[in-house]
């Protein structure tokens, strides 16, 4: 799965990723690969690899989709690269 970066109706940037497991990684650990799972992965990646990004966007995930939003495209592009 590849993260998708778009703009919404209020001209904010949105990075999204449909929920789903990648090669059974989550299922092998008894986890459900929903939007909240991927938000946890994103939070961990940011905390350990790019902590300066932590305040540059907000999360808006749900059970079906991971989502992060920002008025600035750059931090979301960096997050997409981390997730990829």
What pLDDT was estimated at residue 66? 93
64-77: average pLDDT: 95
What pLDDT was estimated at residue 23? 66
Asked whether residue 68 carries a pLDDT value surpassing 80, the answer given is: yes
CA distance 72 to 76: 8
Q: 81 — phi, psi (to 5°)?
A: -65, -40
CA distance 60 to 38: 11
> CA nearest 20: which of 34, 5, 30, 37?
34
15-26: average pLDDT: 80
Asked whether residue 30 carries a pLDDT value surpassing 90, the answer given is: no
């Amino acid at each position: 799965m590849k993260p998708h970066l778009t703009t919404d109706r209020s001209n904010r940037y949105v990075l999204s990723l449909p929920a789903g497991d990648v090669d059974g990684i989550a299922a092998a650990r008894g986890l459900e690969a929903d939007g909240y799972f991927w938000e946890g992965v994103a939070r961990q990646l940011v905390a350990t690899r790019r902590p300066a990004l932590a305040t540059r966007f907000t999360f808006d995930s749900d059970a079906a989709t991971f989502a992060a939003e920002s008025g600035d495209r750059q931090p979301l592009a960096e997050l997409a690269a981390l997730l990829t």
